[in-house]
Structure 1
Amino acid sequence: MEIVTITGKVKYPITLDPSVWIFDDRKFDLDQFFSSQGADHHEAEELEIDRERLIREGAVAPPTLKSEKKYEKEKLLDGTFAIRLEPFLKNAEVSESAVQCLFKTEHDEFSISIEEACRAILCFSKKGKPLTEDGPVHVYFEDGSNRSNPIKHVKEIHMI
């Protein structure tokens, strides 16, 4: 079992088990997140609202519960999922004196500001599989600047 710890200047050190995040409602599709980075989020919301309106008006048939369940199951089996780091940092209660977040990996350490860490994204599943070889998580920056080269082999998130 691969775990990640949050340690250092925190009130509550936390142990994270990314293998259970597949059941977490806060997870999201990472590929979809980055593909919508360039798109206008307001436009996407409007499209969703229009789709809902069309269903209510009867212009478009709503998906059945059975087909929705099948679609969600298929998505879990082949999706690439991530979760934000921020809620875990809030639970750990990072000290106000902390200024840096250090990602400790098997081979190296990477340091970013606490503000950047709050916006960081932890990928825990690629194409429906846990990140067993270079995981348990990959760290991506929200702006996608390290999308092609995420921080891998993360074992500890240490607040300095």
Structure 2
Amino acid sequence: MSDIVLLTGNVDYTITLDPTVWIFDDRKIELESLFQSSKEEKQDSLMAYTEKMAKNWERELTEEKISPPVNRSIKKFEKEKILAGTFAIPLKPFIENAGPKQEAKEFIVETSDGHTHEIPLHIAEHAFLGFSKDGRPLREDGPIHFYFGDGSNRKNPVRHVIKFIVA
């Protein structure tokens, strides 16, 4: 099984997705908390994250590079969380980077067993891609699980995803 998934079709650029590196991506979200919070809470958390990153950037530019012991314990905690967490990543940035053409209206999720799932493109833009369970890549039924943004299939996501096609 290949871990590489293509996003292709009626787009300006074909995108190659490698879910094995998303564990290092700041956009990852813990799957348990993904469908529990409302949209307003997600926007608030995004705003808080943006403010936190801006403060960190400012501190990096102005302060010395000596890390207090607290930062090391936080880093250790984050590492342990990554090694044991179940994560997903938003699909929208990948769709935007591919540049869907004006006439594109459908999004097709293709699985390794030959099934296809057609959904409107505007719905797919709010979807999430599961890529990790208990700190491990999705080897048996992956490499990606497809979750609708509203959480309607959170108990039974589309599994064995091998390709995305914009039509």
TM-score between both structures, scaled by the size of structure 1: 0.83
Q: Is 2:94 the counterpart of 1:100?
A: no
* Partners of 2:84 and 2:36 in 1: CA distance: 17
Figure out how many residues of one structure are paired with residues of the other and give that number: 143
What RMSD in Å do the two structures reach over aligned CA positions? 2.1
The CA deviation at 1:40 is: 6.8
Return the match for 1:80 from 71, 83, 86: 86
Secondary structure of 1:15's match? Answer: strand
The CA deviation at 1:41 is: 2.0
* Partners of 1:35 and 1:89 in 2: CA distance: 24
Return the match for 2:72 from 53, 66, 69: 66
Counterpart position of 1:53: none
Gaps of 5+ in 1: 49-62
Secondary structure of 2:35's match? Answer: helix
Q: For residues 7-28 of structure 1, give each alpha carbon's deviation from its aligned partner in whole angstroms, at most 9, with x where no partner exists.
A: 1100101111000111111111
* Partners of 1:40 and 1:104 in 2: CA distance: 32
Counterpart position of 2:149: 142
Report % sequence identity.
49
Q: Is 2:113 the counterpart of 1:113?
A: no
The CA deviation at 1:152 is: 0.5
Aligned partner of 2:41: which letter? H
Counterpart position of 1:56: none
Runs of 4+ more than 4 Å apart: none
Q: For residues 20-79 of structure 1, give each alpha carbon's deviation from its aligned partner in whole angstroms, at most 9, with x where no partner exists.
A: 111111111111112334x9728x86xx8xxxxxxxxxxxxxx92122111101101110
Aligned partner of 1:26: which letter? R
* Partners of 1:29 and 1:9 in 2: CA distance: 31
* Partners of 2:12 and 2:36 in 1: CA distance: 36
Secondary structure of 1:155's match? Answer: strand
